[in-house]
Amino acid sequence: MLRGYHIGEEITIVSKGIQRSSYTPNNTWIDERQKGRTSYFKIEKIGTTYLYGKYIRFEEDRKEICYYQSRINPKDYNIFSGIRRDLHKKHTDFINNLNEYEKNRENRRRDLERKAHRLTDVFLKIWEKQNPRPKIEA
C-alpha cells in the first residue's frame, strides 16, 4: 500500500514526461511537451502500486469531477497536495514560449537556407565562367 496519501484527498499531479520508445532496443526518449503537464486528481482508492480515483476538470473556474475512474502511477508524476492552479499556468506559459521559440527557430532556418541557396548560385556562376561548358565541334 502506498503511504502518504489519503482517500478523498485532492492532489495536483505534474507529469515527469511520458517515455516513448524508439525503434532501437533499450532506447527511450522523453516527450518534452508532456513534461510538466498538470492535472488534478481525487483519490478514491490506494493500491500497492497505483492510486485510483477521478480526474478533476475546471470549466470557467468551476470544479467538475469526471465520472470515470482512472489510475495513476506515482512514479510517473510529481505529486503536490491540494489543487495548485499556479503549476498549470507555469506549464501553459512554458508551452507558449516553446511554441514561439520553435516558430522563430524554423523561420531563422528558412532564412539561412535562402541565403545559402543565393550564395551557391553566385559561386556556381563564377565557377561556370572559369570553366566553360564543352561545345560540340562539327
At residue 81, φ and ψ (nearest 5 deg) are: -75, 135
The answer to which of 14-18, 26-30, 48-52, 134-138 has the lowest mean pLDDT is 26-30
Q: Which three three-digit cell numbers place residue 92?
A: 501553459
**What is the length of the chain?**
138
Q: How confident is the model at residue 114 (pLDDT cuts 50, 70, 90)?
A: very high
Residue type at position 134: P
What local confidence, expressed as pLDDT, does residue 95 receive? 86
Q: Which three three-digit cell numbers place residue 109?
A: 532556418
Residue with cell 502506498: 2
Instruction: Indicate whether this model's pTM tops 0.85.
Output: no
CA distance 9 to 38: 17
What local confidence, expressed as pLDDT, does residue 19 receive? 63
pLDDT in tens, 77-102: 888 888 888 888 888 898 899 899 99
CA distance 86 to 94: 12
Sequence-distant (6+) residues with CB within 8 A of 23 are none
Residue 75 DSSP symbol:
G
